[in-house]
Amino acid sequence: MRKIRIKICLLAAMLAVATGIQASDFVVDELCYNITDAEAKTVEVAKYDYTVDGEMVRPTKMDVVVPTTVVNPNDNQTYRVTALGYGAFTIYGLRGGWFDYTSIVLPEGLLEIKANAFSGQRNLKSLVIPGTVKSVKTKFAQMSGISELTFPASVKEMVTIESGRIQKLTIEGSPTITAGSRDYITGSVTNNIVYFIDNDTSYKNVEITLTSAVPPTLPEVTRIQYKAYSGRTTVHVPEGCSDAYNAAGWNQAEVLVEGTDHADVDGIRYYHDSHRAIGYDVVSELNGPLNIPQTVQIGGKTYPVEELAVRMFEGEGKSLIKNVTAITLPEGLKRLEKNSLYSEVVSATEVTIPASVEYVGTYFLRGKALKKITFKGSPVLADNSVGSDYKLIHFMSQTPPSVGKYSFQSAHLMVVAPDIASIPVYRTTLSGHWGVEKGYELSVYGGLKEADNVYYSAMEDGNACAIYFDGTQTSVALSKTIQIDGAARALAKIQRGLFYYKKITEVIVPETVKTIGGNAFYKCSALTSLQLPSEVEEIGDYAFSECSAWAIDVTLPGLNKLGKGAFQISGIKSLNLTGAPLATIPESAFGQCSSLASITLNEGLSMIESYAFTGAVVTELTIPSTVTDIYTVGIWSKIKKLISKATTPPTLRNSRQLNCPLFVPNGCVTAYRQADRWVESTSVIAVGEMQTGGLSFYFGDTDALLYNVDTDVTGSDVVIPATVEQDGNSYTVNEMRAALLKNSAAVKSVTIPASITQIPNDAFRNCTELTSVTMPATVTSIGAYAFRICIYNHRT
């Protein structure tokens, strides 16, 4: 009996699979339904799960109309359709991937839309939520075709929206909004922030219109904005209701305004709330100066302009602002929101922030053309608010601003306090926000004075610094003394980047200048006239880099600090550091200076770094006795004679072939020959050189190397002496240079002394007239090709 029952069950299961089954209660017209209340005769559209032979069947209809009522084929009873169940129109797992509907029409009488009802419906272009719906729990995730959506007044509860493309959202009632459950595709809760609009469309703005005087209730932690960085979310509330909405948390929106009434003034659109006007967007092309008014008329009322909205000059308005040359902000303005002036295309070079401004948002002042910013008051500066390009920041208030993280993260910003007395408090306030971990130097000055388009400020030592140049003239004479903060001050410093990329041809630098900052003249390729004062003590990184037309002899006896690449690719002709207290020639300091033909280094120098003289045409270089470290890369590529005065061989940090002799102090040849890497770099290490009777020798501590023979002097018979005399000292000739007489047609005989034990490679190669060589028995080694193509073939 038991076996019969098992067989019947298996047969039933097989028949069910063959004819098609589903987990839902019934299927009508390719829609699956679950009964939600058998007594009340209500159903919900269930998740599609119709299968045949174990495989889900792809629907044939892409346009669906959900009926108001449906007849259950199992009992022939009519049921009201009151809900869309979990994942009702989320169809995946089909052969070929997702199934996308092109239209879905929902019925009047629908009461509830559950989670994930439409997730992934990318081809759905519109959706109308019936006026009977009370609960919406779907986030409309991954519905990239939906750009507008309206929640009718009937909706009493809903969840936060997570749609990829919604740009216009209308909520007609006052529902309670919750964060909802986490969608199976992507969650909307990130770092404890619930994004009410989680939109990833670049530079597309979201408009949320709320029509109820009673604000919808938001989750406790809500940020009403894009999850992405671009675009802006604006909330429009009923007239006179902005205070109530702000109190309910809707002020978390990037912009909150009343209604849609607006005023367009000089190309700028302004909205308003209960108390103020908000500069919102660029609506027409702007040319020349831009003046933000103090007040505007909207709907017959006058509102003070107190805020510039988030990304006011960004997105689609970028193309309309490229000709803005200046920006004037009015007193009374209070908030400058994130990115509201940030734009790569605005050509305005300076702006003054009124004393009334209380807050400056992230990236507000990061426009590339913007070079001078004046703060009349002490606003709160948000994270990353100022930027990293070369900018002069002038504060006029005795009270420093409240500064956010990385607000001044740059080596290029010049901060000017109201006066010298304010410098310490400004330095203390700003130092923790300067990116010290990146090695940036905090430059804070006091007071400001302009002369001939050059701005000067005072330093704590009482001297002056030239900190900013905004002129177009090609010839500039820097002032020797400047009246700042009630006193005449000597110009002692040129600030980093002062003439960065400027088309100047001439600069007169007074002898009072002691410091020239990094990049001060960087890429001033037209500069031809600038005389460096001999009093200069410090030159920063790349200060004169790529000043290729600047042909000058540089003499700096007082230099004690030199920056990396300071004169790189410049036109200097000679360098004299005699007497300077400089300890290091840094990397690439004089790299690629193709006109540099003479270098005199200073005693006291201890290190020469890589590429210090790459490309220089200097042929002779003397290394001071104090040098202890040399990075040989790019230092002696064209040198014909290298002299080291150091009795202890400097440490070579890498090996590069030195194609010239190295001359060292008396008694130091052995030490250099034994020192690491020196022998690898050069085959000749000597104390000096001498010529006698047409023969040229390098001599070491006790021995000598024959390196050249002038047969015009010696004649055809060359006699190599066993010893040579120099300054009363005798040196044994025990070595010959390789290829000493190679290709000589004049020599006929050679006499080699007993002091020589080796004949080097190619020594007499191709000496076609050589018939006699007197070679002593002390010779134990003959190098390769030493006598190749010679007549001589007899050993005496």
Give per-residue pLDDT as tens, 158-167: 988 876 678 8
* 771 and 761 fall within a common domain: yes
Confidence of residue 12 (pLDDT cuts 50, 70, 90): very low
What backbone torsions phi and psi does residue 317 show, to the nearest 5 degrees?
-80, -5
Cα 171 from chain centroid?
Answer: 42
Return the pLDDT at 467. 94
Confidence of residue 778 (pLDDT cuts 50, 70, 90): very high
CB 58 within 8 A of CB 99: yes
Domain presence at residue 654? yes
Angle at 751 between CA 745 and CA 753, to 5 degrees: 140
pLDDT single digits (tens) 618-659: 999 999 999 999 987 767 777 888 999 999 999 988 767 677
Return the pLDDT at 416. 94
Return the pLDDT at 754. 96
* 727 and 674 fall within a common domain: no
Mark which of 665, 686, 707 sits at the end of a domain: 686
Return the pLDDT at 434. 54
Return the pLDDT at 314. 76
pLDDT single digits (tens) 353-412: 999 999 998 877 766 777 888 999 999 988 877 765 667 889 999 999 988 777 766 656
Concatenated DSSP letters of 498-548: TTTT---SEEE--TT--EE-TTTTTT-TT--B-PPPTT--EE-TTTTTT-T
Residue 531 to residue 690: CA distance in whole angstroms = 41
* 701 and 755 fall within a common domain: yes
Q: Is the pLDDT of residue 786 over 60?
A: yes
Domain presence at residue 552? no
Return the pLDDT at 187. 38
pLDDT single digits (tens) 264-318: 999 999 999 999 999 999 999 999 999 999 999 999 999 999 999 988 887 667 7
Confidence of residue 604 (pLDDT cuts 50, 70, 90): very high
* 711 and 768 fall within a common domain: yes
Return the pLDDT at 137. 93
What percentage of the chain reaches a pLDDT higher than 70? 87
Confidence of residue 680 (pLDDT cuts 50, 70, 90): confident
pLDDT greater at residue 165 or residue 157: 157
Q: Is the pLDDT of residue 774 over 90?
A: yes
Region for 407 from its dihedrals, namely left if φ exceeds 0, alpha if ψ lies in -120 to 50, beta otherwise: alpha
* 694 and 680 fall within a common domain: no
Q: Is the pLDDT of residue 11 over 70?
A: no
Return the pLDDT at 38. 96
Helix (H, G, I), strand (E, B) or coil at 317: helix
Tokens at 264, concatenated = 């367009």
* Bridge partner residues of 510 (DSSP): none
Confidence of residue 474 (pLDDT cuts 50, 70, 90): very high
Mark which of 109, 138, 167 sits at the end of a domain: 138
CA 495 to each of CA 373, 415, 430, 519: distance values in angstroms, whole numbers, following the listed order? 17, 11, 19, 9
pLDDT greater at residue 749 or residue 341: 749
Domain presence at residue 62? yes
Q: How much is the average pLDDT of 778-784?
A: 95
pLDDT single digits (tens) 106-149: 999 999 999 989 888 888 889 999 999 999 999 887 787 888 99
pLDDT single digits (tens) 708-766: 999 999 999 999 999 999 989 999 999 999 999 999 999 999 999 999 999 999 999 99
Show the beta-strand stretches assigned E in 187-286: 189-190, 193-195, 206-210, 222-223, 233-237, 255-258, 263-265, 268-272, 277-282
* 642 and 703 fall within a common domain: no
- Dihedral of alpha carbons 280, 284, 285, 291, sign: negative
Give the lowest-confidence range in 92-96, 273-277, 561-565, 593-597. 92-96
Domain presence at residue 106? yes
pLDDT single digits (tens) 171-207: 999 999 987 654 333 334 444 455 666 655 555 678 8
Q: Is the pLDDT of residue 460 over 60?
A: yes
What is the C-alpha radius of gyration for the chain, rounded to an integer number of angstroms?
43
Q: Is the pLDDT of residue 538 over 60?
A: yes
Neighbours of 20 (CB within 10 A): 12
CB 515 within 8 A of CB 490: no
**Enclosing domain of residue 630:** 619-686
Domain presence at residue 46? yes
Residue 329 to residue 290: CA distance in whole angstroms = 9
Domains of the chain: total: 3
CB 695 within 8 A of CB 708: yes
| 3-state SS record for 107-134 | CCCCCEECCCCCCCCCCCCCCCCCCCCC
Mark which of 106, 138, 170 sits at the end of a domain: 138
Return the pLDDT at 262. 96
Q: What is the mean pLDDT of the chain?
A: 87
* 681 and 698 fall within a common domain: no
Confidence (pTM):
0.75
CB 682 within 8 A of CB 707: no
* 648 and 752 fall within a common domain: no
Among candidate residues 561, 555, 475, the one with its CA nearest the CA of residue 517: 561
Q: How much is the average pLDDT of 770-779?
A: 94
Q: How much is the average pLDDT of 574-584?
A: 98
Angle at 348 between CA 343 and CA 354, to 5 degrees: 95
What percentage of the chain reaches a pLDDT higher than 90? 63
Domain presence at residue 169? no
Return the pLDDT at 181. 53
CATH, residue 46: 3.80.10.10
Give the lowest-confidence range in 8-17, 51-60, 96-105, 297-306. 8-17
pLDDT greater at residue 702 or residue 182: 702
Residue 344 to residue 337: CA distance in whole angstroms = 17
Domain presence at residue 672? yes
pLDDT greater at residue 50 or residue 419: 419
pLDDT greater at residue 440 or residue 781: 781
Burial of residue 266, with CB atoms counted within 10 A of its CB: 0-12 exposed, 13-18 middle, 19 or more buried: exposed
* 717 and 665 fall within a common domain: no
Q: Is the pLDDT of residue 15 over 60?
A: no
CA distance from start to end of the chain:
125
* 118 and 44 fall within a common domain: yes
Q: How much is the average pLDDT of 464-488?
A: 95
* 655 and 718 fall within a common domain: no
CB within 8 Å of 526: residues ≥ 6 apart: 474, 503, 504, 505, 549
Q: How much is the average pLDDT of 683-693?
A: 90
Single-letter amino acid code for the residue at 240? G
* 72 and 91 fall within a common domain: yes
Tokens at 742, concatenated = 């190679």
Return the pLDDT at 7. 37
Confidence of residue 528 (pLDDT cuts 50, 70, 90): very high
Q: How much is the average pLDDT of 320-332?
A: 89
pLDDT greater at residue 347 or residue 354: 354
Return the pLDDT at 387. 63
Tokens 């839902």, located at residue: 24
Confidence of residue 253 (pLDDT cuts 50, 70, 90): confident
Residue 95 to residue 55: CA distance in whole angstroms = 8
Residue 534 to residue 556: CA distance in whole angstroms = 5
Domain presence at residue 133? yes
Residue 414 to residue 465: CA distance in whole angstroms = 11
Among candidate residues 470, 426, 429, the one with its CA nearest the CA of residue 446: 426
What is the edge-to-edge ordering of all strands in the sheet holding 629-630?
Answer: 584-585, 607-608, 629-630, 651-652
Angle at 197 between CA 178 and CA 280, to 5 degrees: 130
